[in-house]
Amino acid sequence: QNDDFQWEKYLEETGSLSAPSEYFRQSKIPPANDFKVGMKLEAHDPRNKTSVCIATVVGVTGARLRLRLDGSDNQNDFWRLVDSPDIQPVGTCEKEGDLLQPPLGYQMNTSSWPMFLLRTLNGSEMAPAAFFKKEPPKPPLNNFKVGMKLEAVDRKNPYLICPATIGNVKGDEVYITFDGWSGAFDYWCKYDCRDIFPVGWCNLTGDILQPLGSNVFVTRNTAKTQPPPSKAAQRSMQSPQNSAIILTHQTKKSGRPKPPGCPSV
Ligand code: MLY
């Protein structure tokens, strides 16, 4: 389904390795996503972590759900994996003796909340408990190495999963960089963060993997210690197989690559 980006070809062209799937806190076999648009569940409010709210599934993408908190607006949707600990069946909160909270940004008077809650749940379809999957265990160690390829959520555009590279490793953390994009979207995260996936994840789950950014200067791993090639050498480079040092890839959308460092928003 991803016609314009193929990992196999790209890994070969760049002479890079994909991070092994056991390095990630993700199920080796991605969880089934049985949720349907309109179903209700309980979710931790991403803007107010201690409160549990009612959310509606407003979209289903791969192993993820697009969620909207009932009583909130449509500008603060968020995405969660079906095996995220942030979501649970309706009734869980009450069973644990807690109260469902209005979301941050509840648009009506707080005094209307109990009635709002009754009305929003009345006659709604609640996601069955069996649809919620158990979160996979943490891998014991951070094994990621600089240069390894992966798929990662763009945190500024969290509906997007993109081809990415480990740019740095420090203790329990990894630095995620997006292939073909200048640094504006890069971020540090824990090695066991749920926003990073092994190569092939989108293909397995049916989520959409974004194409590379147009700022792609594919550097072969062997090139790191060598000076950049002369203009003449660049012109004579025919294929990624001959000892190409810097290959300029072009995406279909833009005719020529943007110079590095140009804004990519
Ligand atoms: N600002 C752009 C989206 C950029 C996405 C970059 N990711 C893929 C690293 C836009 O809103 O179109």
CA distance 158 to 52: 21
Asked if the model's pLDDT at residue 146 lies above 70, the reply is yes
8 A C-beta contact, residue 232 and residue 223: no
State residue 51's pLDDT score.
Answer: 97
Both structure tokens of 109? 């008077």
pLDDT tens, position by position, 166-199: 999 999 999 999 999 999 999 999 999 999 999 9
Residue located nearest, by CA, to atom 1 of ligand 1: 265
CB within 8 Å of 184: residues ≥ 6 apart: 156, 263, 264, 265
Q: What is the mean predicted confidence (pLDDT) over 45-60?
A: 97
pLDDT tens, position by position, 203-247: 999 999 999 999 865 555 554 444 444 544 444 433 333 333 334
Å from CA of 262 to ligand 1 middle: 13
Q: What is the mean predicted confidence (pLDDT) over 255-259?
A: 41
CA distance readout (Å), 143 to 14, 90, 168, 175, 197 = 21, 37, 12, 13, 14
CA distance 184 to 250: 20
8 A C-beta contact, residue 223 and residue 247: no
Give CA torsion, residues 219, 258, 182, 66, to 10 deg: -110
CA distance readout (Å), 172 to 13, 33, 43, 168, 194 = 30, 30, 27, 11, 14
Residue located nearest, by CA, to atom 11 of ligand 1: 265
* Residue among 64, 5, 33, 61 at smallest CA distance from 199: 5
Å from CA of 59 to ligand 1 middle: 20
Other beta carbons within 10 angstroms of residue 39's beta carbon come to 20
Å from CA of 11 to ligand 1 middle: 22
State residue 107's pLDDT score.
Answer: 86
Other beta carbons within 10 angstroms of residue 194's beta carbon come to 20
pLDDT tens, position by position, 81-96: 999 999 999 999 999 9
Three-state DSSP class for residue 152: strand
Q: What is the mean predicted confidence (pLDDT) over 151-155?
A: 98
Both structure tokens of 252? 């279909």
User: Whole-prediction pTM value?
Assistant: 0.82
More confident residue, 9 or 216: 9
One-letter identity of residue 103:
P
Atom of ligand 1 nearest to the CA of 185: 9
Atom of ligand 1 nearest to the CA of 213: 8
Both structure tokens of 115? 């009635």
Residue 66's Cβ-side half-sphere holds a number of Cα atoms within 13 Å equal to: 15
Q: What is the mean predicted confidence (pLDDT) over 137-143?
A: 98
Residue located nearest, by CA, to atom 10 of ligand 1: 265
Å from CA of 261 to ligand 1 middle: 15
ipTM of this complex prediction, to 2 decimal places? 0.92
* Residue among 83, 48, 53 at smallest CA distance from 65: 83
Q: What is the mean predicted confidence (pLDDT) over 115-136?
A: 98
Q: Which residues line ligand 1 (CB under 6 A)?
A: 154, 157, 160, 162, 178, 181, 185, 210, 265
